[in-house]
Structure 1
Amino acid sequence: MHENGNGDGHRAEPTASRSGVDQEFPALERELTVFLRRARASSGEMAREVHPDLESSAYGLLVRLEECGRQRATELAAYIGIGKATMSRQLRALEDLGLVAREPDPADGRAWLVHLTEVGRSRFSTVREARRARYVRQLKGWDPREVAELARLLHQLNTGLEK
């Protein structure tokens, strides 16, 4: 909360800088920059926990497949925000490791549906449970409502990025 300077605890209206941008946005940009750098590194760690040769985007693909089941490669690429070439490379690596399989899409013979194999589901589940335990440890001092609010806000941010 920003005080208005007289110490009465009332929230001050956002102050516009010379460029017309609220003072909160430089702080937001700084924190998002650090957060996104750390998130990317963490995503790489998670992927390497599934298998040492995986790229960071592979974990997101596994998350989506676990949560949604069979998906077209184009849907996966759009959801994760990666290009077709990266998607093809990731899927090939995941297939070579026996973590995912592709099958023709019965609705469109030109497309493929991707799904987790039993091996992929098992390895992913083990890593995900370890990651969730880590998040619980990291956020143990947080009020559960704060954790829920953080999840809600991140979902709102992710949804906005899809548009």
Structure 2
Amino acid sequence: MHEDHDDREGHDDREDREETGGDASSRGVERDDREFLSLERELTVLLRRARANQGEMAREVHPDLESAAYGLLVRLEECGRQRATELAAYIGVGKATMSRQLRALEQLGLIAREPDPADGRAWLVDLTEEGRTRVRRVRDARRERYVSHFSDWDRREVGELARLLHQLNRGMEK
């Protein structure tokens, strides 16, 4: 992994000028802001690719699965049974959206809901065995692709990237 973002293979300062509407200094952007312009560009590319990958993974779980629901399945696979309200808060959607997504997942046979014994008004959601099997299969295949894509990275670099992404995600929650 390269320390200096301008040393990336194929990187050309002209790309910065073209994507940001000219030379940063000519637009009144401080030279110190170049890192943030680069960050914005790289995050835009990453997020575009992530959306496409999420849709692909959702279809691998089930052809009728909405891409937005894939994150719910991953959360349940990692954390186990949860209240619908906890899932909604984690994903960042309202109760109505969560209810609609859970209903669709239930109809596909990927999750099951049951009343929360501690609070009969709340629902607990968990993966069905079929849901768990499908999600694990997709995640295992995806992990193998990550191992392949990052084969020239040192494991410490991969760990550092994961740590920084976690820090970014935590910071964006605020």
TM-score in same-fold range (> 0.5): yes
Q: What is the aligned partner in structure 2 of residue 154 from structure 1? A: 165
Q: What is the aligned partner in structure 1 of residue 149 from structure 2? A: 138
Q: Is the 8 A contact 1:47 1:55 kept in 2?
A: yes
- Give the Cα separation in 2 of the matches to 1:109 and 1:29: 45
Q: What is the aligned partner in structure 1 of residue 106 from structure 2? A: 95
SS across alignment from 2:113: strand
Identity value in percent:
76
Residues matched between the structures, number: 152
- Give the Cα separation in 1 of the matches to 2:48 and 2:125: 29
Q: What is the aligned partner in structure 2 of residue 71 from structure 1? A: 82
Pairing 1:60–2:71 present: yes
- Give the Cα separation in 1 of the matches to 2:5 and 2:69: 41
User: 6, 19, 28: which is aligned to 1:18?
Assistant: 28
User: 53, 69, 77: which is aligned to 1:42?
Assistant: 53
How far residue 2 of structure 1 moved from its aligned partner, in angstroms, is: 7.9
- Give the Cα separation in 2 of the matches to 1:108 and 1:2: 52
For normalisation by structure 2, the TM-score amounts to: 0.80
How far residue 23 of structure 1 moved from its aligned partner, in angstroms, is: 1.6
User: 115, 120, 132: which is aligned to 2:131?
Assistant: 120
SS across alignment from 2:28: coil
Regions of 4+ moved over 6 Å? none
Q: Which runs of 5 or more residues in structure 2 are unaligned?
A: 7-23
Q: Quick check: which one's helix share is greater?
A: 2
- Give the Cα separation in 2 of the matches to 1:83 and 1:45: 25
- Give the Cα separation in 2 of the matches to 1:35 and 1:81: 20
Q: Which runs of 5 or more residues in structure 1 are unaligned?
A: 4-14
- Give the Cα separation in 1 of the matches to 2:81 and 2:172: 23
Structure 1's 27 and 2: CA in aligned 2 closer, same or farther, altered over 3 A?
closer
How far residue 19 of structure 1 moved from its aligned partner, in angstroms, is: 4.8
SS across alignment from 1:141: coil
Q: Is the 8 A contact 1:57 1:80 kept in 2?
A: no
- Give the Cα separation in 1 of the matches to 2:164 and 2:5: 20
